[in-house]
Each structure stands twice: as structure tokens, then as C-alpha cells.
Chains A and B, each alone.
Chain A
């Protein structure tokens, strides 16, 4: 059973958005369900800090054993930090997707878009469907 923390926002494409100490900065990664579906992750392609994306733009890719999937930016914002440790240890996404396996920190510039994301219950319904 995939872990779905109750306090995060989710996309139908299996990214999560997690609050930080800064009101407008959120951590983005992929869900426990997504890492389980992908299998062993061997490579992550992340953007440069300072890059800006609109909601559901592709901000990177994640490669499991042979399968490459796009990563979608859940809401409009600017990348303020990336998780550089993933370059050396991408399997962290498998072992700790909501913690050490985070991908980017995003400064959200269109906060109204947060309301369009799924809560944990809606995300659980989505992956069960």
C-alpha cells in the first residue's frame, strides 16, 4: 500500500507539493506510489535554479530501469533549489520519496493554482481508479 501523507498536495501525474517554513516555497517530488510503479530509479534530470515554469510544464525527467517519465511542475513558480544529492544517489527517490528524495524547491508565484491540486483523499481515489 503506497504511503500518502495527509498534509501534502498532489497532481494526477503523481507529483507532490509539500510546504516548507517559507510560506510561498514548496518542495516538489514524486509520490511513493509513483516510485513504486517506476521501479529502481537510475537517473534524474532536474532544472537549473532560477528556472521558471507554468503549471504542468515539464521540469525534468526521471529514468527508472529503461523507462523515462516526464516530471510536471504542479503549479507556476520559480525553482529556488534542487536536490543535488540525487545526481549521485537517485535511488533515494525510491527509499524516501517524501523526505531525502525530494527534487526541487519551488517559489510559487500563482498561489491560486494550489486550490486545483488534489488532497490526499482525492489522490488516493485517483490511484485506486
Chain B
């Protein structure tokens, strides 16, 4: 069974009945965006929302394109990525950076100057995981090209191992969205039963170098590659299109366009391209109230050290 009506475009998951409860969960940082700008939420809440949407899809809710941001900035680990004892948590806290573990696979991502997408639906709606991956990435390429970014899909067969954990954006894998061979979008999936969540980071500006700078076991390497890093923790999170890819295999929309693009400017292009790729259209919608309640329930796990440092 697939959904034939409009699919949901969610820019702020917490409107409606659960809005008041969520305002506690989201803290002082979110909820102040202009209309049409994807909401910025803390990392744990962002992950709880994505997992709740996945559960909603399993229960029959209409498929979703969610676009969102992160506040405060956050470092996320892949579900199975070894992280315990490998990151300088004091330095992360000093830099105002939250830490969270995703429900999806892959490697560490620094979420600051990005637009994040999540696509959630059943296999009947999105295709099998690899088909969905290709369709979604092709739609992202089309959306980025529509705003002037010469994005394309990576060829070849990049291989990643969680045993060699590190930055998600270090190496593009086959089928990922790249620009001039440098990774522009990092994505990960989770399948539960017949439902699928794919979410990923579209780098708008800044740098992924915080991932390696916070790694305890590769600090010497990072210092060698980026000599300015070690003495200036306060500057870690400053946006800089110039610094974006000097020492890493990633690029940003700002670097490719020569100017900073507001997250809201990508909303319509992505919704249009993904709708075309999946044979549907997206209409603005909130989360269902049951999904909102489930997200707030899941929040405790995503905030817990037991989950964040499970490996």
C-alpha cells in the first residue's frame, strides 16, 4: 500500500497541541525563525523527531520530507560508531557543541552551518533502501543544481568501516552528492520493518574540521594538517567558506556559489525535486500529535549518556 495524497513537508515539528511541551524540550534556542525557515532544535530532539517519524511511517502515517537545523551546534555519531573515549568532551562543551548519537549508520558529522533533510516513508512509497538512496540523492542533486550549485552523484565504490571511525565527510561513497569530487551532502539510513528513514546534512558553510579536532586519538594528525586549530578553540565553530575544505574531502554551498545561501532558499527546490523523483507533491504539515508525543518520549534516550556513549 502506498500513499496517494499529498505527502508531508515538515519545517517545524512542534506546532499544535504539543507545542508547549516541546518548547521546554527545545530550550531557548529554537522557535524564533522566520516563517518558511526550517526550525532549529537541539540534537537530541532532532534525532527523537526523526525516529518518531519512522515509527509513524510504520503505523501508516503519510510519508514525510522534514527539513531542519541544529541549535546549539552538535556533533553526531553514527549508531554503531565507536566513540567512547575517543572524543574530547570538555573541549566540545567549551566550544558550545552538543553531542548526540543518531539512530542511523555512518560516521561523525558536525552540524552547524547546514540544512538537514529527513525523508521518511514505507518501502512501498520510497522504494527499497538502495533505490530510495539513489532517488533521494538524485533529487538533492537536482535541487542544488536549480540554485546554481554544480552538484553530481559520486561514482566509484567508496568503502567505509565503522571500525575506522572518523569524519563522515572525509570520503565520499558511491552515489553520494558531491561537487568537484568533494562531498557536499552526507546521508545515512535506517530501516525498520517496511519503513525507511534517510536523513543527511547539506553543508551550507563552515567546516567539518571540528570532528577531527575533537578526536583524542588523531589530535596530532589534525594539528599537523591544520596548524591553526589547536590554539584557538573559540574559533572552531566560526563559519568560513574559505576554511571549508582546505584539509578535508568536503565542500559547502557557500564555497561552490561564492556566497552564503539561507536555509529557507533550499526548501522549495528540495520539495519540488523530491516530489518529482517520487511521483508526489509535498504540502506543509505538522507532525501528528501522536508522533509529537512519541518524540518527546524518545528524547530521554537521545539525551542519555548510555545511548551517546554506548560504543
Contacts and interface: CB of A to CB of B under 8 A. Distances in A.
Interface string A64-84: 111111100000000000000
A70 B128 contact: no
Nearest to B107: A66
Contact of B160 (A38, A45, A61, A65): A65
9 contacts: A13-B193, A43-B105, A63-B78, A65-B160, A66-B78, A66-B187, A66-B188, A68-B188, A69-B190
B43 interface: no
Given A37-B128, A68-B79, 4 more contacts: A66-B106, A67-B190, A68-B80, A70-B191
Nearest to A72: B193
B156 to A, nearest CB: 13
Nearest to A58: B192
Interface of B: 78-80, 103-106, 128-130, 133, 158-163, 173, 187-193
A42 interface: yes
A66 B192 contact: no
B105 A67 contact: yes
B162 A63 contact: yes
A40 interface: yes
Main secondary structure of the interface of A (DSSP, over half): strand
Given A67-B105, A68-B79, A39 B162 contact: no
B154 to A, nearest CB: 12
A65 B133 CA distance: 12
Contact of B104 (A38, A39, A43, A66): A66
Question: How many A residues are at the interface, by size bracket?
Answer: 10 to 19
Contacts of B129: 37-38, 67, 69
Nearest to B191: A69
Q: Chain B: interface secondary structure?
A: loop
Contacts of A65: 105, 158-160, 173
B58 to A, nearest CB: 11
A64 B78 CA distance: 12
Contacts of A38: 129
B79 A61 contact: yes
Contact of A68 (B160, B163, B191): B191
Nearest to A91: B161
Contact of A67 (B159, B161, B163, B191): B191
B194 to A, nearest CB: 9
Top 8 nearest A-B pairs (CB, nearest first) are: A67-B189, A43-B80, A66-B106, A68-B105, A69-B191, A63-B105, A66-B188, A66-B105
A61 B158 CA distance: 22
B104 A68 contact: yes
A107 B129 CA distance: 31
Contacts of B192: 70
Interface in A5-60: 13, 37-40, 42-43, 45
Contacts of A63: 78-80, 105, 162
